[in-house]
Amino acid sequence: MANSWFQFQQFRVNQDNCAMKISTDAVLLGALADAASPREILDVGTGTGVIALMLAQRFPEAKIQAVEIDPPAASQALDNFRSNAFSERMQLWEGRFQNFEIQKKYDLIVSNPPYFPDHLKSSDLQRNMALHTDELSFHDLLGKAVQILKEDGQFWLILPPRQMQDFHQEAARYGLFLGVKFTLRDKPGRRILREICAFVRNHTEVKAKDIFIKNEDGTPHESYAGLVRGFLLDF
C-alpha cells in the first residue's frame, strides 16, 4: 500500500486522497519538461500536484497554474501547494480542462494524461477518471492546449509508446509537431515503457535521447539519477 505522503528534498506531497499516487512517470515529466525561460506554466490533470511542484522548484521565476477535475485530488493538490516554499507562485483551478477559462497563454504546458480509451474499468470511479479518456480525450486535450500555448511555447506529456503514436497523429491535426523525444526503459536493451515528448508549433529537428532507470546490476543508471538528483531523497 502506498504511503499517505511522499517526501522530496524540498517539499512533501500528501497523496492519500488521490487515485494516482506519486509515480516514476510524474517525477520524470517534472524533471524533463522545459521551455526557454518559462514565466507561465500550466499543469493539466495535476493529481497530487507533484509535477507542478517540481516545476516551481526548477523555475523560480515562473507562475504555476494547475487544473484538476477530481474534487478530492484538487483539494489535496491545493493543500500541497499551500504547504511549501513555492506557494505564492502556485494556483489551482478545479474542473474539466475543456471548461478552463482562457485568461493568458503559457510558455510551457505539461500533462500526465489519462490514456485508456477502451480498457476494462474498475469499480473505483476516482481511479477510472485518472486513467481513462472519458473525461479528457486527446482531441479535447489538444483542442484546448493549442488555444493557450504561446507561439514559441512547448507542450510536454508522457505516454506509453502506442498511445504516444496516436497522440502524435492527433497533434499534427492541430498544428503541433514533435520537437523532443525521450524514451524510458527499465534497463538497457529492454522494451520502451514510456515516451516523454515535447510538441511545438513549428517543424524542427527532433532531439532524441534514451533514459534507463537501472543498470544491469540494479543500481540507478546515471541517465535517471541525473534527472532526479535534487528532487528525490538519496540522490
The domain ranges of the chain are 5-228
Residue 129 has what pLDDT? Answer: 44
Q: How far apart are CA 112 and CA 134, in angstroms?
A: 15
Residue 135 has what pLDDT? Answer: 73
Q: SS3 for 78? A: helix
Mean pLDDT for each 10-residue chunk of the chain (235 residues)? 84 92 95 97 97 98 97 96 96 96 94 70 46 72 97 97 95 97 97 97 94 97 97 94
Cα–Cα distances in Å, from 119 out to 26, 115, 131, 134, 178?
22, 10, 10, 11, 27
Residue 128 has what pLDDT? Answer: 42
pTM: 0.90
**Domain 5-228, architecture per CATH:** 3-Layer(aba) Sandwich (3.40)
Residue 3 has what pLDDT? Answer: 76
Residue 177 has what pLDDT? Answer: 97
Residue 103 has what pLDDT? Answer: 87
Residue 118 has what pLDDT? Answer: 53
